[in-house]
Amino acid sequence: MTLGSNQHPARGPLDGERLAAAFGQTPGLALELLPEAPSTNEVATERARAGAAEGLVVVADHQVAGRGRLDRTWETPAGTAATFSVVLRPSVPAASWPWLPLLVGHNVTKALVALGYDARVKWPNDVLLDDDRKVAGILVERVETPDGPAAIIGVGINVSMTADELPVETATSLAVAAPGAPDRTQVLIEAVTAIREGYDVWQAGGDLGTQRLATSYRSHCATLGREVRVDLPGGGELTGRATDIDPDGRLVVETSSGTERVGAGDVVHVRATD
Ligand code: BT5
C-alpha cells in the first residue's frame, strides 16, 4: 500500500510512564506532561513564577502555538515532535549566562549524535542535519521570579515528520534524514538527560567549566570557518568569515573593515553564504 500525501503512519502518544521513570531516576528532574499546550515555554514560565524548582521539565505531547525567537513561530504537526521546556535557576555569575543557549544547543546536538545522527550546531544554537537543514530549535528566555532569575530552556526537535509535513523548506526531521527514527519518547529522554548533565558539569566547573564548554562547543560548531551573513536588528548586516567564538559566547566575524563580535541576542539571522 502506498500512502497518499494526507495519510501518515499512526503516531502514538508520548509514553508518560517511560518519561516519568527516566526522569525519576535522574536527580534534579521532575516531569509535567501535558497532552496539549500553547507553548511549553509559556507554561514553564508560569511554573517558575509560581516557585517551581530547578529541573522541572514541561512536556507537551502536542504544542499548538510554539514560539521561536523574535516573535517567530515554531510549528509541529501533532505526534511528530519532541517539544519541552526546562526550568533552570543558574547560580553562575551573570556574565556566564550567555553561554546557556549555546550549552543547550551543544548538548541537544550531542544527544542526536549519540542516537546515530550526523548533527551539528549552527551558532548560536540551531541544530542541523544534512544540507544544513534545521532539525531542532532552541529558545532560552530569562524570567524574573520571586525566587530570583530563572532560565526557561525551550527545545523543539523534529522527530517523525515526513517530507511533506515539514513546516519550512529549511527544516528536516530525524525520519527524513534516515529511516527508522527513534520514537519521540526516547529522543526526549536523551535530550533532557544530556542538557541536565551538561548543565551540571558546567555549573560545577566555575570559570574552568565555561572554558571547557567553549572548547567543546568550538570543535563541534558548524559555523566556524564559514563565510556568513549576519542580519542585525534594524536592517543592518555583516558579512565575512566566522573565525571564533569569544569567551563571552559571541561570534567573531572577520569583515573587510575589521573584526566584529555579535552576541546571540543581537542577531536576526546568521546564514552561511559559501
Ligand atoms: C527557534 O526560533 O529556532 C526556537 C524554537 C524553539 C521551539 C521550542 S518548542 C518548545 C518550546 N516552547 C516554545 O514555545 N518554543 C520552544 P527561530 O530561530 O526564531 O526559528 C523560527 C523559524 O524556524 C521560523 O520562523 C520558521 O522559519 C522555522 N521553523 C518553524 N517551525 C520549524 C520546525 N518545526 N523545524 C524547523 N524550522 C522551523
pLDDT 10s digits, 192-219: 999 999 999 999 999 999 999 999 999 9
Q: Tell me how far apart the alpha carbons of residues 156 and 72 are, in angstroms, rounded to a whole number.
A: 14
Mean pLDDT to the nearest integer, 145-160: 97
Q: What's the DSSP call for residue 195?
A: H
Beta bridge partners of 172: none
Q: Indicate if the pLDDT at residue 2 is higher than 50.
A: no
Measured in Å, residue 126 CA sits from the centre of ligand 1 at 9
* Residue 156, beta-bridge partner list: 83, 137
pTM score of the predicted model: 0.95
Beta strands in 55-132 (DSSP E): 56-63, 66-67, 73-74, 81-88, 120-122, 126-129
Closest to 55 in 3D by CA, of 158, 197, 156, 190: 197
Question: Is the Cβ–Cβ distance between 273 and 265 less than 8 Å?
Answer: no
The protein residue with its alpha carbon nearest to ligand 1, atom 7, reads 156
Percent of the chain with pLDDT over 70: 96
pLDDT at 3 over 50: no
Q: What is the mean pLDDT of the chain?
A: 93
Q: Averaged over 154-172, what is the pLDDT?
A: 97
pLDDT at 162: 95
CA distances from 180 to 9, 11, 173 (A): 13, 13, 12
Q: Closest Cα to atom 2, ligand 1: which residue?
A: 68
The atom number, within ligand 1, closest to the CA of 66 reads 14
Share of the chain above pLDDT 90, in %: 86
Average pLDDT value for residue range 169-179: 95
Mean pLDDT of 238-265: 95
Integer Cα distance of 169 and 151 in angstroms? 30
Task: Supply φ then ψ for residue 114, to 5 degrees.
Answer: -65, -25
Q: Is the CB of 223 under 6 A from ligand 1?
A: no
Which cell goes with 227?
A: 563565510
- Kindly indicate the confidence band of residue 10, based on its pLDDT and cuts at 50, 70 and 90: low
Does any ligand 1 atom lie closer than 6 A to the CB of residue 45? no
**Residue range 94-150, pLDDT digits in tens:** 889 999 999 999 999 999 999 999 999 999 999 999 889 999 999 999 999 999 999
Q: Please tell me the residue having the least CA distance from ligand 1 atom 3.
A: 137
- Taking the centre of ligand 1 as the mean of its atom positions, its distance from the CA of residue 12, in whole angstroms, is 23
